[in-house]
Amino acid sequence: MTVHGGGIGDVLQPPNAPIEGVWFPLSGIVSTLRALEGDTNVEVDASGSEGFLGVELAIGAHSTPDTWVVQSPGRFARLDAHHFIDAFERDPQLREASRRYLAAQRAIRGQWVACNARHTIEQRLAKWLLTTRDRVGPEIQITQDVVAMMLGVRRASVVTVLGRFVDDGLVAHGYARVRIVDEARLTEVSCECYGKAAELLRRGLAA
């Protein structure tokens, strides 16, 4: 296993390519992006120190249509795919933990689909900020372009909503940085998907 530093935008896994390594975020966050028409990518999942990327290997998949890209800078451990598969086949505890994580991941992705279909940009941005805060703390290194890509919306929409959050005292915003100021009020703005996703993950990992 090797440990690598990663900055915002670094690609750990290109789409439609063999999975050659399993990644474990030690700090920072890695987003899983799904490509859409018009050269658009949308975040369908994110992994911090609670999870890992490459769980597809646990069900026999050897490639992914998605891109794994560093959303928040940090340090990331990499295990060669064949070493993971060998350990998975030998270790029943690893098999069980991987399957639980995969089940939780799928349940959370379903919650995100419902969220994207029904909730406003304000709610989704608040949810995204809170979820990111849970992984890296209240000081979030991120650009408006990246947030727009994660949410699948125009950058202008992010600028407008983030400006409103600043005016309302929910967050402070500087260059490539957002700091959560009023967690309680930001939680009120967020949709129920924030709490539901956290509970799905907690139950899945504790099962």
What CA–CA distance (Å, rounded) separates 28 from 141?
10
- Spans of all domains in the chain: 2-116, 120-190
Q: State pTM to two decimals.
A: 0.87
Residues of the chain with pLDDT under 70: 207
What CA–CA distance (Å, rounded) separates 11 from 76?
12
> Exposed, middle or buried by CB within 10 Å (0-12, 13-18, 19+), for 77?
middle
What CA–CA distance (Å, rounded) separates 165 from 189?
10
CATH (one of 3.40.50.2300, 2.60.120.10, 3.30.160.270, 3.40.120.10) for 2-116: 2.60.120.10
- Cβ contacts of residue 186 below 8 Å, gap of 6+? 126, 129, 130, 165, 170, 171, 180
pLDDT digits (tens, 9 = 90+) for 129-166: 999 999 999 999 888 888 998 888 899 999 999 999 99
- Of the candidates 153, 161, 145, the residue with the CA atom closest to the CA atom of residue 71: 145
pLDDT value at residue 207: 60
pLDDT value at residue 127: 96
pLDDT value at residue 204: 78
What CA–CA distance (Å, rounded) separates 118 from 139?
28
pLDDT value at residue 95: 92
pLDDT digits (tens, 9 = 90+) for 112-134: 889 988 999 999 999 999 999 99
- What phi and psi values does residue 32 have, to the nearest 5 degrees? -105, 120
Q: What is the CATH number of domain 120-190?
A: 1.10.10.10
